[in-house]
Amino acid sequence: MKFNNSPIGIFDSGLGGLTVFKEIRKMLPCEDLIYFGDTARVPYGNKSKETIIRYSSEIFKFLTDKGVKIIVVACNTASSLALDDLRRNASVPVFGVIEPGAKKAVRASHGKNIAVIGTSATIKSRAYSIAIHKEIESLNGRAGGKPKSAGSFRIVEKACPLFVPLVEEGLLNEEITKNAINYYLSSVIAEKPSCLVLGCTHYPMLKDLILDAAGGNIEIIDSGVETARAVRDYLKENGMLKASGPSGGELFFVSDDMEKFKELGEKFLDRAIKNVSLAEIAK
């Protein structure tokens, strides 16, 4: 059964997934999109794996009940801890944000160091390191020749816990934000990485400042952009793209505080947000 005209479901613990939503909208302008932000239970980073799996499963059911044809877990924490469980019994394809970013990092690294920045929870999980090494193993298996050595470069990971609150406070161009970026990234840049993965969906809001701090000599990898590409390619390859027509519709659901979500979310999307509803999913 084809689901060409069914919507794409996207969810996050709160606002950050809107950067992924934005990239999917750019690449798939005709698709209908449904976004769920779990604003009542944010952040996920200080929750147990079992709790994150439970939260993600509840949202997954909410979105599948809306008839989505694919679900994007636009949250690094949920992608690292709940993705396998969601996929195990999923009736629709499920995409996370870590695998696409890791694949791009391997292609961009040319055997040199790869840097990953993210929240403390994501960095502690080593999810990107694991995904990067898996991608190298996969490439070696497909190549059938001399394997690329996983030990010829280092993966430099750095937690940047202040970035999320600085973004949500709207301090994008303030001196305090520039100082925080320099503080966290100085040791990372000293390792001379060939590319830097933005391992948190809030971080694209700081992309230009991060590039400036890195001296412009590094490729910035936005996992949201890579995820959007992966979703587009999958839908195209499987005949699931919505037929061309007018711009796709958008629905936004949150588990708490619709007004705050709308106010801050419009800064993420650089445009007005309409059709925000409260979903009584969080207990």
Q: Helix (H, G, I), strand (E, B), or coil: what is residue 118?
A: strand
87 and 35 inside one domain = yes
Asked if 75 is an active-site residue, the reply is: yes
Chain segment 20-34, per-residue pLDDT in tens: 999 999 999 999 999
Identify the pLDDT of residue 193: 93
103 and 68 inside one domain = no
Continuous segment of H or E residues that includes residue 123 = helix 120-125
Please give the model's pTM, rounded to 2 decimal places. 0.91
Taking residues 177-186, report their average pLDDT. 96
How many domains, the chain?
Answer: 2
156 and 254 inside one domain = no
Pairing of strands 114-118, 195-198: parallel
Asked if 195 is an active-site residue, the reply is: no
- Listed in sequence order, the residues at least 6 apart from 279 whose beta carbon sits closer than 8 Å to its beta carbon are 36, 62, 253, 254, 255
249 and 186 inside one domain = no
Q: Is residue 200 part of a domain?
A: yes
DSSP 83-149: HHHHHHT-SS-EEESHHHHHHHHHHHHTTS-EEEEE-HHHHHHTHHHHHHHHHHHHHHHHH-SSPPP
Extended strands (E) in 70-170: 70-73, 94-96, 114-118, 155-159
109 and 204 inside one domain = yes
Q: Which two tokens stand for residue 250?
A: 């958008």
User: Across all residues in the chain, what is the average pLDDT?
Assistant: 90
Q: Is residue 3 part of a domain?
A: no
In the structure, what pLDDT confidence band is assigned to residue 217 with cuts at 50, 70 and 90?
A: confident
Domain boundary among 223, 245, 267: 223
Chain segment 253-269, per-residue pLDDT in tens: 999 999 999 999 999 99
Q: Is the pLDDT of residue 149 over 70?
A: no
The residue whose two tokens read 């996992």 is 223
**Structural domain boundaries enclosing 206:** 99-223
Q: Is the pLDDT of residue 218 over 60?
A: yes
Instruction: State the catalytic residue, choosing from 30, 160, 195, 200.
Output: 200
Identify the pLDDT of residue 146: 46
84 and 197 inside one domain = no
Chain segment 44-92, per-residue pLDDT in tens: 888 888 999 999 999 999 999 999 999 999 999 999 999 999 999 899 9
Identify the pLDDT of residue 147: 44
Chain segment 81-122, per-residue pLDDT in tens: 999 999 998 999 999 999 999 999 999 988 889 999 998 888
In the structure, what pLDDT confidence band is assigned to residue 145 with cuts at 50, 70 and 90?
A: very low
Instruction: State the catalytic residue, choosing from 30, 75, 160, 195.
Output: 75
55 and 110 inside one domain = no
Identify the pLDDT of residue 260: 92
187 and 210 inside one domain = yes
Q: Which two tokens stand for residue 235?
A: 């839908």
Q: Is residue 283 part of a domain?
A: no
What is the distance between the alpha carbons of residues 204 and 57, in angstroms, rounded to a whole number?
A: 26
